[in-house]
Structure 1
Amino acid sequence: MKNYLELHRNMPEKTCTECGCVIEEQHESYLYECERCMGKHER
């Protein structure tokens, strides 16, 4: 169990492919862009 927790603690932060900002994601999220960049595409 310890190795599993250590693995997740050491994972790099997920960043937006558009602007490079760190994405605050939920555990089931498959997003590759932040909310701000996704909003740009909806206009």
Structure 2
Amino acid sequence: MKAYAAPTMHPMQERALRANRGRSPLLQLTVRRGVPAPVEHQRKSPA
């Protein structure tokens, strides 16, 4: 039963995590799952 990494989060939580990924402590987790990290738009956003 451990042949794959099962998603442990609710889809909406994953969506929020994806939106936050530039400054998220779970960066390694999302990268490990193979989700591309959009950091460019966060880098160019006015703070």
The two structures have a TM-score, normalised by structure 1, of 0.23
Structure having the higher Rg: 1
Which of the two has greater helix per residue?
2
